[in-house]
Structure 1
Amino acid sequence: MDICCWNVRGAASSKFKSNVLDLIRTHRLDMLFLCEPRISGEKAISVVKTLGFPCFEIVDAVGFSGGLWLLWDDSRVHVEVVGTSDQTISACVARNGQDPWLFTGVYASPNAGKRGKMWDYLSFVAASHNMPWLIAGDFNELLAADEKFGGVLECKSKGFRNWVDDNEMIDLGYSGPKFTWNNKRVYARLDRAICNMQWRRLFPEANV
């Protein structure tokens, strides 16, 4: 099963559409989670419908900020959205007779106060189920000091690090470039996938 999580930083351009369609064709994606499309309402729906997925859930952007899209192919995977917030979409996922598991796509706010509310919400989600759980997306926060190069090292990882430790989550690591964001001066690993032990046992060979 292939899932892609991508911070697109705007989905209104023709370049976005050609890039995402190429990504879908290359990897034959079952699910696609997009954050920061920065468009809402009928415009968002019209763009989503051109991407080739029959099913989708949209959390609208606020003005030109944020937004979340979850798209999936229901002929290949069963997805039932169980909850949304301004920073997350959570869905129960099942495929080919496998046990169901929970997926949460994340776009954490760059604002530390708003991001703190997301950790509280995810703690509520954690307390509400006992399922294998995968969380992936843009967390806008570091887990360790060596995940940033350049600039001033801010005390920006405490909330995320504490939440991961308190909920016994596992960072799935990565292959490829270490840093997922840069402004040509500062480089950081803000995007990742984490899971609980139940999910890791269910998919021991899963990789990012």
Structure 2
Amino acid sequence: MKVLSWNVRGLGKTQTVNRLKNSLRRSNPQVLFLMETKLNARRMERVRHMCGYRFGVDVGSVGSMGGLSIGWKPECDVRLLSYSQFHIDVVIQESETLKRRFTGFYGRPAERDRDLSWNLLRQLHSNQSMPLLVAGDFNEIMYSYEKKGRRIRPERNMVRF
């Protein structure tokens, strides 16, 4: 199963949609997860269809923040478990004997709210019994060398992550 996760930072521009479509032609993933689309759910659904993903779930942005979408090809057996402004959680049945859990995730952008993000991840995966893939934008780094420019990240934030 091939999955593509992309932080598109706004799909309102034709140029961005065309770049996405070109990338999809090259990689041909069965499942596509997009975050930070900055589109309402109806517009996101139209973009997803234009990209060849008839089936999916779209969570609209709140103002200029967020926006999530997961789409899948018709040959995929995908079941929605839950979704919110910050995640979409599905089970992908690859064969009779193989199920995988996929969580597309968007971490809260405000530093003071990150513990809410980590609690959501813990809650979603507390009783995990199948292979799991979590992908997305966590809005946090694991190591200080990953940070370029601006102020240095507090070590305690990275430890929590």
Name the residue aligned to 1:20: 20
Q: Residue 68 in 1 paired to residue 41 in 2?
A: no
Which residue identity is paired with 1:162? R
Name the residue aligned to 1:138: 137
Which residue identity is paired with 1:126? H
Cα RMSD over matched residues?
1.8
Q: Deviations over 1:15-47 (max 9, x none)?
A: 122111111110111111101111104322222
- Scaled by the length of structure 1, what TM-score is found? 0.71
Name the residue aligned to 1:44: 44
Name the residue aligned to 2:160: 162
Give the superposition deviation at 1:160: 5.4
Alpha-carbon distance in structure 2 between the residues aligned to 1:58 and 1:159: 30
Name the residue aligned to 1:81: 80
- Scaled by the length of structure 2, what TM-score is found? 0.90
Identity over aligned residues, as a percent? 27
Decide whether aligned partners of structure 1 residues 33 and 41 sit closer, same or farther in structure 2, where only a CA change above 3 A counts: closer
Matched positions, count: 161
Q: Secondary structure at the match of 2:69?
A: strand
Give the superposition deviation at 1:159: 4.7
CA contact (8 A) 2:48 2:54 kept: no
Give the superposition deviation at 1:98: 4.7
Instruction: Choose between structure 1 and 2 for higher RCO, CA contacts under 8 A separated by at least 6 residues.
Output: 2
Alpha-carbon distance in structure 1 between the residues aligned to 2:15 and 2:96: 37
State the 4+ residue runs in structure 1 displaced beyond 6 angstroms: none
Q: Secondary structure at the match of 1:56?
A: strand
Give the superposition deviation at 1:73: 0.8
Give the superposition deviation at 1:48: 2.1
Alpha-carbon distance in structure 2 between the residues aligned to 1:5 and 1:131: 20
Give the superposition deviation at 1:162: 3.4
Name the residue aligned to 1:127: 126
Q: Deviations over 1:156-190 (max 9, x none)?
A: x6455435xxxxxxxxxxxxxxxxxxxxxxxxxxx
